Amino acid sequence: MRDTTKHKGLRNQLASVLEAKGISSDTVLGAIKKIPRHLFMDSGFEAHAYQDKPFPIAADQTISQPYTVAFQTEVLEVKPGDKILEIGTGSGYQTAVLLELGATVFTIERQHELFKKTSLFLPKIGYKPKRFVFGDGYKGLPKEAPFDKIIVTAGAPELPKALLGQLKVGGKLLVPIGDGAQVMTLFIRKSPVEFEKHELGDFRFVPMLREKN
């Protein structure tokens, strides 16, 4: 598959749709305009790649809705040089958005099929996370901690507590919490022992799964 001016036009339209829905960050909208989302999906869905909708990818998972990706990225106020842990690599689209904004990204995926597929694909189109990790996001990545930001892109039935301890002071954890539907929840580490919590509305994600035994 190639990237064409037609795709580019569709991306500009998608960015306008997201802007109308409340996304205001120029850098986030710029990333949406730049990244060829159709390449992250099976060719059968290519015609729909620039609709503001989630779509199936491999292993019964989904590529998140563009609005959700833009919303999570905007809330995290991603800056060049931020050290970010992403949980739920999936198609790698959110990973590409974080990299486009200049972050250093560590990304974890628990399904081997997706881990393999995306770790081969992303570098091919020029997006290189610091590390692709095959593992369980509930545990975070203690060896590489602390992080400026942690983003969870699957619905966590409950708060994965280990993640709070892997934030820098001043760092942010953004995680959708709940069964079925989730409340987007932001934690800001105010001190080694204090966290501020903000609830940012309802979203719907595929469930975050426990490691297979």
| Mutual angle of helices 66-76 and 26-34, in 10-degree steps | 140
**Smallest gap, in angstroms, from Cβ of residue 186 to ligand SAH?**
17
- Closest to ligand SAH by CB, 26 or 113: 113
Does residue 101 interact with ligand SAH by CB under 6 A?
Answer: no
Task: For residue 124, count other CB atoms closer than 10 A to its CB.
Answer: 8
Beta strands at 104-109 and 83-87: parallel, antiparallel or unpaired: parallel
Does residue 132 interact with ligand SAH by CB under 6 A?
Answer: no
Considering only residues 93, 132, 147, 187, which one is a binding residue for ligand SAH as defined by CB under 6 A?
93
Closest CA relative to residue 178, chosen from 140, 150, 206, 141: 206
Intra-chain end-to-end CA distance of the chain, in Å: 37
Does residue 200 interact with ligand SAH by CB under 6 A?
Answer: no
**Smallest gap, in angstroms, from Cβ of residue 108 to ligand SAH?**
5
Question: Is-catalytic flag, 64?
Answer: yes
Considering only residues 25, 27, 51, 62, which one is a binding residue for ligand SAH as defined by CB under 6 A?
62
d(CA 180, CA 157): 9
Considering only residues 106, 127, 138, 187, which one is a binding residue for ligand SAH as defined by CB under 6 A?
138
**Annotated catalytic residue: which of 16, 43, 64, 91?**
64
Does residue 153 interact with ligand SAH by CB under 6 A?
Answer: yes
- Token pair for 24: 């205001």
- Closest to ligand SAH by CB, 192 or 212: 212
Closest CA relative to residue 144, chosen from 90, 93, 97, 106: 106
Q: Which residues are catalytic?
A: 64
